[in-house]
Structure 1
Amino acid sequence: MNNKVLVITGMHRSGTSLLTQWLYKCGLHVGDSFLGAGIGNNDGHYEDIDFYNYHQQVLTEHELPSDGLVPASPQALTTAQRTSLKALLHRKAAGNTQWGWKDPRTCLFLPFYRETLPHARYLVILRDYKTVVSSLVQRLYTLHAWKYEQSDLITKLIWRYFKKPYRKNKLLKQYCDEHLAVWITYNEAILKHLQQLPAEAYIVVENTKLKTSNKEIFSHLSGSWNFDLQYHDFDTLYKEKLVSDPLDIIHYVKDPSLLQKAADIQCRLLAMAL
């Protein structure tokens, strides 16, 4: 596979959907069929269904949650899983001189992609761990609220007046450590992956700088990496009003070592960023 491949990489809730939507508008082939919109992502995920299904299947076969919110990556792929991955990549490469994909679960399989696609380029988006954990909790809260609002009148009233005021606090207590550990798993995998690549094979961009750095990203993709793209105005896609104010997660994290580890990984990735 000598065609140009871009792997769009980042933790869940980090902005990979927005970034991939923009690259799609710029003319990059990122899949034939996409995962649709969902709670917390009204514009769609821009995730190639084939990669999405492959990653979910492998996680399930390893007895891990298929959503990818896992405490550790699969340590090995079976022969059948490797064969399926190679077949998937060959299908994607057929007829496309330049292509790419996005699925946050890709982070859990980076050693296998590095082995199978030795000449791929990696576009990494990094989002602050506190904001990601906050966003994951906010999404859970929104899902809970949506389910209650679909219920009968009595259940709705119980939700609105007795459960709703306390649910977000309950979710923060329950999930902060778990989601922070997932952020560490993903971004530690990214860091280890980049350390094994030549510097010219990747770029890292901080989520908050997408709005101001998108032209620099485009220039790198089209100039340094020779992707044939047409610039699309990023501002037409960016919806600042949809970015919720982050919750204060620090006081809900029970294991302070997680905060220290996340801060260290984030600092090291930021040192690689544009």
Structure 2
Amino acid sequence: MGLAIGGFHRSGTSSVTQHLAQSGLNPGTNLIGANEYNRYGHFEDWPPVTFHDEVLAAAGLDWASVTYNDIPLVERDREFIRGYCAEREANAPVWGFKDPRVCQFLGHWMDVVPSLKALIVYRSPAECSWSLYRRSVREVVQGTDRNQTSARFLTEPDHALALWVTHNEKLLEVARRFPERTIVVGHASFAAGRNLASEVRDRLGLDLEPADVADTFDAKAVTRAVAPLPVMNWELASAAGDIWDEFESLDTAGKGNFGHAAAQFSDDPTGLILTNALLTLQIGETRKLVDREFNHNKEKAAIKVARKLKRWPFSLFFSRSDKYRSLIDEILK
């Protein structure tokens, strides 16, 4: 009995998979480890992650690309899906895999393997977007932005929300096509104590021994209180609201803690509100960088940080913000 766990990036699928793993689900044998963004681990098996990255690359895309189109598979891709599921089935009585990239491909997986079940996790578009913005700012500040992916979130208007919409539209399509093989759950209800292992056992037939959510979920590891998300393109906000409402209509727990998703947004036709919010995040992350560097070698750190602040994207804010110029003055002193 296999379970595919799908949810947009930063939707809490790691915590959900951790709970299911504690309840007897085998999430894979070659898992991505923990980092500062997922302190307990990602619970993602490398083979599906690598497979999805390769299919995206073949289409000229990556995990952060906005596309409303279906991404086609070739026969070699379908062979991978069949082989991966057969191997997992042979080695574990109750198994699953989790990867946010599967949002783009879950329908293909369900078509190729008729016995596969799906758990779809949705989370507030504002929460997901702010989480992506915070991570992107941190990577840009720390100089770890691979392939300028994080820079896209900071320079392309509404990029995080557009990704949320496109990924979750495709998950909704799966829920509509395969209602008997799919459970839709809001992460907010899981964080409030909803035992998903019990639902997966009772509704999808996986042989799990449900663990107590309080023993497997650290609420402090998930940010909840967020400001409204500034949005330039209000059509995206409306689309997100419609998706949110349909998710809640499919979720047996009913409405979550957020009401209609449109309430999570604020109108930002010029983009200046979001720009200022990202500037504030960058100043905070830069202060952390300065503190860390100064703990090692104060003189070298001052030179290193000053050079970094003269380059993009810092140079942009240096020219526009008194706060940023003041910060630089502090560092150079």
Deviations 1:68-114 (A, max 9, x none): 54334553112222222222222222232321110011110122112
* 1:268 and 2:246 matched: yes
Matched, 1:210 2:167: no
State the alpha-carbon separation in 2 of the partners of residues 140 and 228 from structure 1.
39
Distance in 2 of aligned mates of 1:250 and 1:268 = 20
For 1:256, the equivalent position in structure 2 comes to 234
Q: 1:172 to 1:73 in 2, by over 3 A?
A: closer
How high is the sequence identity, in percent, across the aligned residues? 28
Verify the 8 A CA contact 1:69 1:179 in the aligned structure 2.
Answer: no
Shift of residue 46 of structure 1? 0.3
- Structure 2 residue matching 1:6: 3-state secondary structure: strand
Look up the match of 1:58.
Answer: 55
In structure 2, the residue matched to 1:129 is 125
Pairwise CA distance, 1:42:
1.5
Structure-2 residue corresponding to 1:85: 81
Correspondence 1:198-237 to 2 at 5 A: 198=179, 200-215=180-195, 217-237=196-216
Distance in 1 between residues matched to 2:157 and 2:66, nearest whole Å: 14
Cα deviation, residue 255, structure 1:
0.9
Q: 1:41 to 1:110 in 2, by over 3 A?
A: same
Q: Which has the higher contact order (CA 8 A, sep 6+)?
A: 1
Quote the offset at 1:257 in angstroms: 0.6
In structure 2, how many angstroms separate the alpha carbons of the residues matched to 1:246 and 1:182? 21
TM-score normalised to structure 2 length: 0.68
In structure 2, distance between residues paired with 1:8 and 1:98? 13
Q: Superposition pairs for residues 44-123 of structure 1, below 5 Å?
A: 44-65=41-62, 67-72=63-68, 74-123=70-119
In structure 2, do the counterparts of structure 1 residues 136 and 83 end up closer, same or farther at CA, with 3 Å as the change threshold?
Answer: same
Displacement after TM superposition at 1:10 (Å) = 0.7
- TM-fit CA distance, 1:213: 4.5
When the two chains are superposed, the root-mean-square deviation of aligned CA atoms in Å is 2.2
In structure 2, the gaps of 5 or more residues are 145-150, 253-333
Matched residue SS, 1:214 = coil
Structure 1 residues 33, 225: CA separation in 2 closer, same or farther (over 3 Å shift)? same
Q: TM-score, normalised by structure 1?
A: 0.82
The amino acid of 1:206's aligned partner reads: G
Distance, in Å, in 2 between the alignment partners of 1:175 and 1:128 is: 21
- What CA distance in whole angstroms lies between the structure 1 residues aligned with 2:152 and 2:124? 20
Aligned residues: 246
Deviation at 1:17, TM superposition (A): 0.4
Q: Which of these two proteins has the greater Rg computed from alpha carbons?
A: 2
